Amino acid sequence: MPHEHLTTGDVAHLAHLARIDLPADSLPHYAAQLDAILDAVSRVGEVAADDVPPMSHPQDIANVTRPDAVRPGISREQALAGAPSVEDDRFRVPRILEEAE
């Protein structure tokens, strides 16, 4: 079912609702673009059939994961070895928030 074509007045109204300041000479350009978008959306609606179930992907997908297993990591000393500043066995970073009084 074809949609009703947008007028420059429709585009001006939409721009006003969206709080977008569009110059009057650009309204025909945006009307044509929005018409093309609405036409494409209406064509997609025509293709959908009642016997086709809604889906998010055209093919079945599965998440490929590995088992969650404990593995050896690096020591605290190794982790802190490359830090520019260390204090009390932790990374020392600049203060970014003032303390609340």
Domain map (residue ranges) of the chain:
8-47
- Taking CA 15 as the corner, what is the angle to CA 9 and CA 21, rounded to the nearest 5 degrees? 110
d(CA 79, CA 54): 48
Share of the chain above pLDDT 90, in %: 50
Record the pTM. Answer: 0.45
Residue 66 to residue 19: CA distance in whole angstroms: 49
2 pLDDT above the threshold of 70: no
Mean pLDDT for 3-14 is 89
Q: What percent of the chain has pLDDT over 70?
A: 93
12 and 22 Cβ atoms separated by less than 8 Å: yes
Q: How many CA atoms lie within 13 A of 26 on its CB side?
A: 7
pLDDT recorded at residue 97: 81
57-87 residue pLDDT tens: 778 888 888 888 999 999 989 999 989 999 9
Distance in Å from the first CA to the final CA of the chain: 65
